[in-house]
Amino acid sequence: MSSLCKLNRWFRLSVASVLFVAHLLPTYACTRVVYLGEQQHVITARSMDWKSDIGTNLWIFPRGMKRSGEAGPNSIQWQSKYGSIIASGYDIATTDGMNEKGLVANVLWLVESSYPIYDGSTPGLSISAWSQYVLDNYATVQEAVEALAQQPFTLVTDKLPGEDRLATLHLSLSDASGDSAIIEYIDGKQVIHHDRSYQVMTNSPTFEQQLALNTYWAQIGGLNMLPGTNRAADRFARASFYVNAIPKTDNPVDALASALSIIRNVSVPYGVSTPDQPNISSTRWRTLADHKNQLYFFESALAPNVFWVDLKQIDFSEKTGQVKKLTLGPNQANIYAGEVSHAFQRSEPFHFLGLAQE
């Protein structure tokens, strides 16, 4: 058997093994895609898929907010350098958002995540504030990656509200230059994947295995066949093909339409029931972050239209900026239209979920 044939056989067996493992793993269906258009027109789109309402609201956070890692006496402390708009989870965590410098952070489920054992000897950061820490402190992906590589904190997880399981998440970052990074914790160690080409992130398996699966589908060619299920690996393949197949443009309307069509394509129908895979969850909302124009779009599965926030209309200053909240209602069914920065109401900031007190 030739070396090339052996290599091809090894590759097919490796991909088959990954596909088998991916099929067995529970699936939590969220997707993140970065569109790279002309003239530095970058858009990050994500879907939030969950089995029940996570009580999402939109929040405006100004500069100068004093934060705690909420991990006990040795929690990391910081003051926000940059203002941001974020989408909350249960109003105890930041799940998604963009800061005033155009850095976007998204957290998605990754069941394979395994975090360090925390003994309190190092500064701790609750996983609920992981993405907010990045938005508060960094302007670019490069800056964030360099800082996080120094491990300024130990990431600490805890049980989800009302559930007997730990939050297991990975973090994606993208910025106005189109740079991207994926940060995971595997076997208790931080793993950073940093490259402009890392435009797509879904859920299981780990990002390294997702890349192997995508190589397999790239060989087949998206015009010939694409996987069509709601499993994370299949959504990764579809999003990866479409994000590079759509036209690259500097027209903001066309670019937003293209990015939105991709994230809708990899969304899960609302109310879907799959008894053989009960962990596939419906898409509850989608966001799009236009890095260049500083626009943050929100679309609920239960609302008839997309609305947006223009970050240029927000006072993020430390002296006069205010914490504000846009209440989206149960299942994010409240209806808004157009640019809604004026509709936010002054509010006390929510408290990030920290370690349970014994």
Burial of 304 (0-12, 13-18, 19+ CB in 10 A): exposed
DSSP symbols for 4-59: HHHHHHHHHHHHHHHHHHHHHS-----EEEEEE-STT-EEEEEEEE-SS-----EE
- Separation CA 45–CA 235 (nearest Å): 14
Mean pLDDT of 216-232: 68
**pLDDT (0 to 100) of residue 262:** 95
Question: Per the residue annotation, which of 22, 30, 48, 301 is the catalytic one?
Answer: 30
Mean pLDDT of 176-204: 94
Q: Is the dihedral of CA 297, 266, 107, 282 positive or negative?
A: positive
- What are the residues whose beta carbons fall under 8 Å from the beta carbon of 276, sequence distance 6 or more? none
- Please determine, for residue 59, whether its predicted confidence score (pLDDT) is greater than 70: yes
Verify whether residue 5 is a known catalytic residue: no
- Separation CA 167–CA 157 (nearest Å): 6
Residues of the chain above pLDDT 90, percent: 67
**pLDDT (0 to 100) of residue 259:** 95
**pLDDT (0 to 100) of residue 236:** 86
Model confidence, pTM: 0.88
**pLDDT (0 to 100) of residue 276:** 59
Q: Where are the alpha helices (DSSP H) in 124-168?
A: 130-137, 141-149
Mean pLDDT of 109-126: 93
